[in-house]
A and B are shown apart, each in its own frame.
Chain A
């Protein structure tokens, strides 16, 4: 979080586009990655991210304190769901999204040898597929908690629910992910298997 975030938000609420764009620059990576995880398509994630920032600018007056990141990621999640609905109306696009799953997960990690890199890519694909098996609320909770590192309180804010509900969604989501990954154990890369066998 930027030190000047509160003042940037206040200026944005007065219609200062430059201040809002400073916030965009600060959060666009997180917003884009959330959309990418939810949509599993780089192209759709790009559209959803742009839509999310446009919606955020329009609704910035409705932000009444708390975690700006949680508020913004909530808007990004809604934009992604809208994009998903649009894709369902165009079946050709969803096919394209399905084939793009691998592309979306192929994010190079720095400082890794070629073999490690290949294993990492494989694990990422399995994680993306496992996330796709979760219920929407559980998936959003797991991504926001484990990928983006939001606190339970931030999650409660972003998902408009109680901390108890957040706990339950995260627990169920993780349990399902664990089941999925253990079922794929033979297919999983060595690092993941080794950790399990410890």
Chain B
């Protein structure tokens, strides 16, 4: 028991050795400490060691400054926030670029084989209205000029082929042979033979000089204005609407047998064919030309959709990171 008390007392005394060395111990505590030191060898030893330690530390030489640390120019206090702002701007730009790239890549991969079946439906849907538009463009012009007029037909020809990509061959023919299109019924059967050849975009322009232009347009377009009032035509843009009107019409022309007429049509606008299987064939051909034009990738709509989604996600993430950095900056 006494030993424990002595140990506690010793510990208290030893804690006072350091301030005693520095002369910051109160006079009363100093006197008590000195009284103890006179009796206790261990504490005297410890004080001596402590003094030697302090002395050794005090004798540690101070190194010379390796150079002058005087400031050459006043440091600008606003430098840091500016740098931080710049850093944030760079980060934002990097993130935006990364998200745009990711969006483009995802969009690209979505168009590769595998997602192909999905893409087919909207494609066919897109092609039909497109072709219908070309038809509507052709007919009104003929209405104003009157059927059988070579000029109007020429115009119709040049205009009609241009939108679809397959037109390249047909257009060349149209340009070459305006005089041949006299508007005669006799020309049409020949055309029927040539027109399919014009369908594929490889058709040589020189080969079908006389035949092609007249063939593609005359049988298909001339009948429709005669049958349909101008008002109804504007309303009916769909191919299904125009198609039924044709079959009754074609016989009235007499010059061209119906099957031939039907075959001519696909080369230009494909809608006039009432039967289903025949309608599918031109749609496919048209799609092929379209995809060939776009380099086999997905439709523009899907690419745009992917880009929009990617940018939306990117902006959302940027906003989140921005608010986080702002909160951290406040803390």
Kindly list chain B residues whose C-beta atoms are within 8 Å of the C-beta of A143. Answer: 57
A-B contact pairs, 26 of them (CB 8 A): A21-B71, A28-B68, A29-B62, A30-B62, A31-B69, A32-B65, A54-B71, A54-B75, A57-B71, A107-B60, A108-B61, A124-B61, A127-B60, A146-B58, A147-B57, A167-B18, A171-B15, A171-B18, A175-B50, A178-B46, A178-B50, A178-B53, A181-B56, A192-B56, A195-B48, A196-B52
Structural contact, B57 and A142, CB atoms closer than 8 A: yes
Structural contact, A46 and B66, CB atoms closer than 8 A: yes
Any A CB within 8 A of the CB of B55: yes
Query: Which A residue's beta carbon lies closest to that of B69?
Result: A28
Kindly list chain A residues whose C-beta atoms are within 8 Å of the C-beta of B74. Answer: 15, 17, 57
Q: Of residues B24, B62, B74, which shows the largest number of chain A Cβ atoms within 10 Å of its Cβ?
A: B62
How many A-B residue pairs have C-beta atoms within 8 angstroms? Tell me.
Answer: 111
Q: Tell whether A25 pairs with B70 under 8 Å between CB atoms, given A57-B75, A167-B19.
A: yes
Set A54, A123, A167: member contacting B24, Cβ < 8 A: A167
Structural contact, A123 and B69, CB atoms closer than 8 A: no
Report how far A170 CA is from B66 CA in the complex, Å.
Answer: 29
Q: Of residues B53, B55, B59, B63, which shows the largest number of chain A Cβ atoms within 10 Å of its Cβ?
A: B53
The tally of residues in A whose CB lies under 8 Å from a CB in B reads 48
Any A CB within 8 A of the CB of B117: no
Min CB–CB distance A121 → chain B (angstroms): 10
Structural contact, B57 and A127, CB atoms closer than 8 A: yes
Report how far A46 CA is from B291 CA in the complex, Å.
Answer: 67
Report how far A63 CA is from B134 CA in the complex, Å.
Answer: 83
Query: Which B residue's beta carbon lies closest to that of A188?
Result: B56
Chain A interface main SS type: helix
Report how far A36 CA is from B62 CA in the complex, Å.
Answer: 10
Min CB–CB distance A9 → chain B (angstroms): 15
Report how far A72 CA is from B86 CA in the complex, Å.
Answer: 31
Any B CB within 8 A of the CB of A41: no
Using a CB–CB cutoff of 8 Å, the interface residues on chain B facing chain A are 14-15, 17-19, 22, 24, 46, 48-71, 73-75, 77
Report how far A158 CA is from B189 CA in the complex, Å.
Answer: 108
Report how far A156 CA is from B54 CA in the complex, Å.
Answer: 19
Kindly list chain B residues whose C-beta atoms are within 8 Å of the C-beta of A15. Answer: 74
Structural contact, A152 and B22, CB atoms closer than 8 A: yes
Report how far A167 CA is from B24 CA in the complex, Å.
Answer: 9
Kindly list chain B residues whose C-beta atoms are within 8 Å of the C-beta of A181. Answer: 49, 52-53, 56
Structural contact, B53 and A53, CB atoms closer than 8 A: no
Min CB–CB distance A35 → chain B (angstroms): 10
Structural contact, B60 and A147, CB atoms closer than 8 A: yes
Structural contact, B53 and A33, CB atoms closer than 8 A: no
Set A17, A36, A167, A196: member contacting B63, Cβ < 8 A: A36
Report how far A198 CA is from B50 CA in the complex, Å.
Answer: 13
Structural contact, A196 and B48, CB atoms closer than 8 A: yes
Any B CB within 8 A of the CB of A10: no
Structural contact, A42 and B52, CB atoms closer than 8 A: no
Query: Which residues of A, 33-53, contact B by the 8 Å Cβ criterion?
Result: 33, 36, 42, 46, 49-50, 53
Any B CB within 8 A of the CB of A99: no
Min CB–CB distance A189 → chain B (angstroms): 10
Kindly list chain A residues whose C-beta atoms are within 8 Å of the C-beta of B63. Answer: 29, 32-33, 36, 42, 104, 107
Q: Tell whether A198 pairs with B48 under 8 Å between CB atoms, given A36-B63, A142-B57, A181-B53.
A: yes
Per-residue B-contact encoding for A99-112, CB less than 8 Å = 1, 0 else: 00000100111000
Kindly list chain A residues whose C-beta atoms are within 8 Å of the C-beta of B60. Answer: 107, 124, 127, 147
Report how far A174 CA is from B52 CA in the complex, Å.
Answer: 10
Any B CB within 8 A of the CB of A182: yes
